Amino acid sequence: MTAEDFLSGQILLVDKPLNWTSFQVVNKLRWEIRQAFNIKKIKVGHAGTLDPLATGLLVICTGKKTKEINTYQGQIKEYTGTFVLGSTTPSFDLETEINETYPTDHISKDLVHKTTTEFIGDIQQFPPVFSAIKKDGKRLYEFARAGETVEITSRTVRILEFEITKIEGLHLDFRVVCSKGTYIRSLANDFGKALNSGAHLSALKRTKIGDFSIENAMSIERFINSLKN
C-alpha cells in the first residue's frame, strides 16, 4: 500500500496483544505508517476499546475512514473467554486482587447452563467501577483507584447469544454475542450472583465486530512487516 492509500482511508483488522491498551496500538500503527511513508500527519483511530487484559479484534481506521468509526462501534460484537467461579475482584477481572470468596458446592453443570438463559435479551447492567466511562469529567477508574465511592447508574444492553462452551472445575469457558456498551466483566460478576456465588473474568478475547472477524486480523508485527514490503 502507498501513503495515499492510508490517507484516503484503510480499515485494518488487528489482533490486540495482551497488556496493550487500544490507544497504544493506535499510536504504534500511526507512528509506523508515518515513518514508512514520511507522512507528517495522519488520522488513525479504533472502533471500540479493548481493556489491556483483553486480546483480540481491533478495527483500526486510517485517514478519511476515521469518519466511519461510529458506524463500526455500534455493531454487534462477539467475545470468548473464561469466568472463574467462587471469587470476585473489585474490577471484576484480574486487574485487582480477589477480595471475596463464595461457596460453589451447590453449582452443577445443569445450573450453569440453565442460568445463561436468564441473561438472553435486554438486560440491565452496571458498568464496572474500574472502567473508562466518564462521570463529572473524570473516568470511573480514577475514582476507584483513589478509593472514592461514586454512584453508577445501570444501562440497558442486549445479549443475543450466551453459551458456556467448557466447564473445567471452577473455570467456565464462554461465548457471548452482544450489543455495543456491554461489559463482559460485569456479565461475569452478575453471572456469579445469579448462581448464588461469585465470579470474575480471567480471560477475554474479542472475536467479531459486525462482519469483521479475528480470523482476518493481523498481529502488529505482521502489519509492520507489510509496510516494508
Residue numbers annotated as active site: 51
Q: What angle do CA 55, 56, 57 make, to 5 degrees?
A: 140
CA dist., res. 44 & res. 60, Å (int): 7
Q: What angle do CA 32, 38, 42 make, to 5 degrees?
A: 65
What is the DSSP annotation of 68-134?
GHHHHHTS-EEEEEEEEETEE-TTSSTTS---EE---TT--HHHHHHHHGGGSEEEEEPPPSSS--E
Measure the CA dihedral 83/87/92/96, to 10°.
Answer: -120
Cβ distance 174 to 85 under 8 Å?
no
C-alpha cell of residue 97: 486482587
Q: At what angle do helices 22-37 and 220-228 cross, to 10 degrees?
A: 10
The one-letter amino acid at 200: H
Of 25, 11, 98, the C-alpha closest to 55 is 25
CA dist., res. 35 & res. 227, Å (int): 10
